[in-house]
Structure 1
């Protein structure tokens, strides 16, 4: 949805917490003046999470998007004040390590900060004590200091933004409880409250932990779990007497003691302590009292003293001055968690005009509001938000049980050291392919993504690893990894392997207008004869890459689309005309990738159709039989070897696997997992959407200009690409190889040239064919020239690397086109 200020929508925002107030300010600053903010409690502190928030803004996050949100929040609030009182106090942040594992993690975090442009420094225990004199330096191994972080006075920031928004025409109405969402023909038309109805073209739920309540009124699931989090203030400390200005309250950095799940901030002469060091305390938002019925306010629940006992003991160990103090006041404050720890943003497809801006903490509030306001007024956010999109969830991830289980786990892991590949333990398994039983027999080690159980390697292949030279890995890169992956990659290059590709999303696009629709939506030429397969891109209106697809034309009006996520389905469904049907076929089907130089020797005896290169060329598709199983075969390869993707129904999937397995015994067939798959695709330079490129990148920057046909007619994003070419980018996605064959990086590390950070790694893995780690990184065009020497920082160590021509393996494509 995109409107100009002259045709601006009537907007109703539900919730006047920090997100709702920020949204009103951001929208009115862009010319949308017909904005009404409805709040069930009194203003300016209506009793939600904002009213009790400690106001911490730590900008560094493994997610670049979340870092961008926090950076904007700090910058914006630093420029706001109310009657001379600043809304943001830049005291800085300090994280301390008391274990070797945490100290190593702070080095990794410093790398994230450098990658995303956040100023930070690893410091000694003595320097930690200088920044926080109450801290016992003998307890810590070191710290990470980020001077640009700080404290937001959340209620004050709401007041400042409310004033600005009101000056531009917005209105804020307190004590209006929403009782209904009106709609006509699938579009929102208004909001009903206990004090009247308000017509609207756009409704934004920024209700915080009441989001599920508003969602139920709209018929839109809001997958978040409210949880209580303990916060206390100590009695006055003599050590702080006269140290801090009561107007700003704090002078020392926010202190995070993550090994004990604690954080600390000053309140003039007291210390505020927040604790995650207690059992999850879920809260049912449907049973919370109204403001006037609450003992303090709805978001402030009674303090459970026993839950804080260990937290107090650990606090006194780090800050000895607390040993003679006490907890003077405490409460259990309610705020929101999602199953993956990210916000929930975007417009519902089922109820057009109904938007969510939920599960947002003060830390990211203004950044989120800016993104949503851009989304509404410009049609897209300027920052990639795919990690936050409400349509990222699979159906199985929306069940109340899943949201509760994973949401509670996110609370437990807030300060844990979590490996990027670390899977959740429960609830599993949820989604399994028809081959699951056979995979277990082969000793598959499963990780999980999108609810799917995905084999990463097979213990049955361990004997093959004995003959492969595998460099010794450090403890971090060795987690959720096995040298068996090397043997599986080699077997794929030398013989043939079966890969379970079932989790790849498959969409069916059919109907009289199917071809015209896909031509308008994607960048490549799809007007080809049935049997053709085409690699193409989905762009947004600004030319940013929303996704990459493979489109197989199976009939005149029948296309199978290989997509990346549920967001692709949502995008196509939103734009499909009446004569086009878009259906997700993933759950009812399955897929085996048969890849390797012996793939044809395996498959050809099982079918009467000609699978020769001449009869069944690369990027072709056709229906056939493999043994007794009907399949759709596509001549594609994500690993750079000869082979096919074989699709069939879920009911015949196991028979397909067994047929291929039995026929491949004499050829030395193996089952191979995602770890080998990622290694092989990096060696071939195949991009992974969401990691290597997003809406922030155009096809030419990402090295995908070959998938754009500007002469085919109009398509989404075409106008934005006019004048751009492979020669024009100021930045590029470049292939790096680490100079040391034993060195490893995993992704998101900063890249240095001439002593300065010039870019960051997107994805990386060991290339078993080339014998060294392969990394892709965004670099300025001047540094993306093959032969350029750079270095990648890994846990504080600068690892030499070289920009390399791509692809590293089989640039002439002879192996695939045998």
Structure 2
């Protein structure tokens, strides 16, 4: 066995073997995979092998399309059959809300180059004459869906990887991993091997491997069963193959398997878990079948496809799959471990594995992938997510796998996990909460009516409008204690910031700068607000969901020779966003600090006293009004909040939520990290030239910025009005010029102060100019969009600077 490799991949399932292939294809051929048994042992070998194109995410549409393309082409490349069957697929919709989602998904699919059609009942019956459709209103047909033989397909990837120079060692059991020098040593029963990069793609063994590294991997083994029937008389002489059916009514998939049927339900209650402590000897093993447990869903399957009730069961496959709490794979860097990568946790590994591996390989080799990987990044979880939470949330998510998850939807289990000191006050006022990195965050305030979330218009529209009016006309308060908060200090802190970020470090104490950490290729990896406290201390804030990731990025950027300390102080401070034209009047009642523009101008920070607490007050406002962010020691937050609300009572001070903040920032054309700003584009495409300084001698990503400026870019950000006041702009809608897709929506919101629906879109550069027009498709219909040149509200920033 080799003693060293540039990359060592642990695990010989579809994720691991395809990772090996794509790394070699990207040019890293000194790559080795070790597998304790045969390739595909564990989960891959017993997977049902479905490969759907129906995805509610543009990135996952691209991920799944990659697998389907590879399964249909690998046989020609390698001579190894993959067992690919192009059967097509039908996803059923039971009501108008689901059908609207289908229309949204079809728009996403077409942006990924995938053929998809919303179809009515007559068309469904033509495609599949054996379905009972009494409670169905329509569906989506994806003609290039299919299924594959998992073992054959994995072996095809292995052959292709070896042909590119990769090495595979089977029957090689790892027993430990240690950090040695600047790399890693993996101990095995066939000898030890060192590597520069380690990829853990060990399926349900990943938690055990993670333990060797002190890494908590948020995975839970969920039992899943599917059955294969005897031959069905109606199919014996039928040419071709029936489309694969996905039915939310029975929470199951159903397809033809040779001349019989295959079906598997995902239970909506009574989810069974299997221990994470799986013995290493568990290889090509299954669990005892238990059809009684899934009997209610099998009955619903038989109602949907009566053919299931006409034949006997030939075999039952009962195994378990490692699920994450959000059912999204873990693909990317392991937090806090240099050059350790995860590629695991997929609920549909055969469909997602190759695509996940392709983009992981790009990330590893080039520093960024062609798609944004933030949603798959393992650093979306943190220490706050303990094992009980991981288990509860995974059970809930797995129980709702086939449910509709419209914009604004959040899971309920394991909550509240993190709350600000004023959570109870906000809840008593009717706050409706979402969740981010465990924090309870206010979406909006209701009068007790439940929120109806949909793909048309959220029921909160009028209440959000009232919150926006309060901010625009008087004063509003938003609890954003969920911000990630860091301190960077030391004699080299300023040099570290200038080297790490595209923008310059704030020069003087009290200065504030919006800074972006870029990849080496110039893509946006993080957005952080940097405030200079004194000569050697900088205070940083970023999105709450990015706490682990941003701390990891900052720490990884450190030079060991620099005198720099980086501390995560997220739990030390709460944050109140106070915005509106009456803000100065109200704050002046609870502090002696001079808040005049002359003494406290825009984009400056001061420490002020409120109710005996030293408050870091930052004069910035994502709402686009006169305002401050009050960063309050966490123990004093409630006292400061109550004082503020009392002081502003006669001005009609009002709490507002994140729905309103989104509408307000859209009126000001403020970009959002994770939507307009992602690690698949740069500040050049985002039209944010003022946030990088090419005059600096160097910073990470500078060459990538210069290359884009010299060569031009393929897409540019445009800020538009959309002639669809009755619909919510969600994001990921296709943008059309005639019948040609020219771009994609990133986010949007209704501008209540201007009475217009607003959106950001990335389009081909010639369409980004002021007054350009095109169409945005929403719920299957096209609506005119017009490019705006400036923010539609207060373009001169007079209200911000007041």
TM-score range, shorter chain: over 0.9
How far is the alpha carbon of 1:473 from its aligned partner?
Answer: 9.8
Counterpart residue number, 1:317: 303
> 1:167-206, aligned counterparts within 5 Å?
167-184=163-180, 188-206=183-201
CA distance in 2 between counterparts of 1:558 and 1:389 reads 29
Maintained 8 Å contact 1:461/1:670: no
Counterpart residue number, 1:755: 739
Maintained 8 Å contact 1:461/1:487: no
Aligned with residue 802 of structure 1, among 779, 782, 786: 786
Counterpart residue number, 2:691: 707
Maintained 8 Å contact 1:705/1:726: no
Counterpart residue number, 1:354: 340
Alignment partner of 2:617: what SS?
Answer: strand
> 1:267-278, aligned counterparts within 5 Å?
267-277=257-267
Maintained 8 Å contact 2:525/2:678: yes
Aligned with residue 165 of structure 1, among 134, 137, 161: 161
How far is the alpha carbon of 1:161 from its aligned partner?
Answer: 1.8
| Cα pair distance change 1:29/1:124, threshold 3 Å | same
Greater CA deviation, 381-390 or 283-292? Answer: 283-292
CA distance in 2 between counterparts of 1:724 and 1:303 reads 57
Counterpart residue number, 1:391: 379
Alignment partner of 2:299: what SS?
Answer: helix
1:380 matched to 2:380 = no
1:345 matched to 2:327 = no
Alignment partner of 1:652: what SS?
Answer: helix
Maintained 8 Å contact 2:397/2:411: no
Counterpart residue number, 1:330: 316
CA offsets, 1:470-501, max 9 Å, x none?
xx999544547352211111011111111112
Relative to the length of structure 2, the TM-score reads 0.94
Greater CA deviation, 540-549 or 790-799? Answer: 790-799
Alignment partner of 1:301: what SS?
Answer: coil
CA distance in 2 between counterparts of 1:353 and 1:501 reads 33
How far is the alpha carbon of 1:323 from its aligned partner?
Answer: 2.6
1:55 matched to 2:45 = no
Query: How many pairs does the alignment contain?
Result: 788
1:13 matched to 2:9 = yes
| Cα pair distance change 1:303/1:133, threshold 3 Å | same
How far is the alpha carbon of 1:393 from its aligned partner?
Answer: 1.4
> 1:782-801, aligned counterparts within 5 Å?
782-801=766-785
How far is the alpha carbon of 1:601 from its aligned partner?
Answer: 0.7
C-alpha root-mean-square deviation of aligned residues, in Å? 2.3
Counterpart residue number, 2:412: 425
Aligned with residue 555 of structure 1, among 534, 553, 562: 534
Counterpart residue number, 1:368: 356
Counterpart residue number, 1:85: 81
Gaps of 5+ in 2: none
CA distance in 2 between counterparts of 1:455 and 1:763 reads 19
> 1:164-313, aligned counterparts within 5 Å?
164-184=160-180, 188-243=183-238, 251-277=241-267, 279-288=270-279, 290-291=281-282, 297-298=284-285, 300-313=286-299
CA distance in 2 between counterparts of 1:286 and 1:587 reads 33
Counterpart residue number, 1:511: 490
How far is the alpha carbon of 1:288 from its aligned partner?
Answer: 4.7
Greater CA deviation, 274-283 or 382-391? Answer: 274-283
Counterpart residue number, 1:442: 429
Maintained 8 Å contact 1:443/1:460: yes
Alignment partner of 1:79: what SS?
Answer: helix
1:537 matched to 2:521 = no
Counterpart residue number, 1:105: 101
How far is the alpha carbon of 1:228 from its aligned partner?
Answer: 1.0
CA distance in 2 between counterparts of 1:485 and 1:34 reads 56
Counterpart residue number, 1:573: 555
> 1:1-40, aligned counterparts within 5 Å?
9-40=5-36
Alignment partner of 2:293: what SS?
Answer: helix
How far is the alpha carbon of 1:277 from its aligned partner?
Answer: 3.1
> 1:99-178, aligned counterparts within 5 Å?
99-136=95-132, 140-178=136-174
Gaps of 5+ in 1: 1-7, 245-249, 463-471
1:737 matched to 2:737 = no
Maintained 8 Å contact 2:5/2:32: no
How far is the alpha carbon of 1:726 from its aligned partner?
Answer: 11
Q: Which aligned runs of 4 or more in structure 1 are off by greater than 6 angstroms?
A: none
Counterpart residue number, 1:584: 568
| Cα pair distance change 1:379/1:289, threshold 3 Å | closer
